[in-house]
Amino acid sequence: MRLTYYLCLLILLAGCKTVSELVPTASSLSFLQDTPPALPAWVSAPQCSEGTICAVGSGTFNKNARRDAYKALAESISVKVNSIDQLSTVQDGDFIRATQKSFLSLEVSDVSLNGASVVQQLEQDGINYVMLELATADFKTQLRQENVRLTQEVTAALKANQADSFDSWWALRKRLAAIRVITRNQDILEKLGDARDQSANRLVEDYFSLFHRSYLARQLNIRLLGELAGNTRLYNVLSKQFKSEGIDIVDKRFFRANTSLDVSVDYDAWRVGDEQRIKGTLWVRLKSQRGQTLSQFNINRTAASLQGGRAAKQKAVNGLVSRLAQENSVAKLIQ
Identify the residue with better confidence: 151 or 20. 151
Label residue 33 by pLDDT band (50, 70, 90): low
* pLDDT at residue 217 in the model: 86
pLDDT tens sequence across 103-123? 444 444 467 788 889 999 999
Residues 6+ apart with CB under 8 A from 212: 88, 89, 90
* pLDDT at residue 299 in the model: 96
Give percent of the chain above pLDDT 90.
Answer: 52
- Residue 105 CA: distances (Å) to CA of 93, 96, 180, 197: 19, 14, 10, 22
* pLDDT at residue 102 in the model: 47
pLDDT at position 26 over 80: no
Class of domain 219-334: alpha beta
Largest CA distance in the chain: 119
Nearest CA to 113 out of 57, 70, 152, 144 is that of: 70
Type of residue found at 120: Q
**Is there a contact between 143 and 185 (Cβ–Cβ < 8 Å)?**
yes
Q: State how far the Cα of 29 lies from the Cα of 214, in Å rounded to an integer.
A: 81
Q: Please enumerate, as own/partner, the contacts of 40-45 that have beta carbons within 8 Å and a separation of 24 or more.
A: 40/120, 40/122, 42/120, 42/131, 43/120, 43/122, 43/129, 43/131
Label residue 24 by pLDDT band (50, 70, 90): low
Burial class (CB in 10 A: 0-12, 13-18, 19+), 34: exposed
pLDDT at position 309 over 70: yes
Which H or E element spans position 177?
Answer: helix 176-191
**Domain extents for the chain?**
137-216, 219-334
pLDDT at position 15 over 70: no
By DSSP bridging, strand 275-287 and strand 293-305 are antiparallel
pLDDT tens sequence across 58-91? 999 999 999 999 888 888 887 655 444 444 444 4
**Is there a contact between 139 and 189 (Cβ–Cβ < 8 Å)?**
no
pLDDT tens sequence across 264-288? 999 999 999 989 999 999 999 999 9
What's phi and psi for 150, nearest 5 deg?
A: -70, -35
Label residue 34 by pLDDT band (50, 70, 90): low
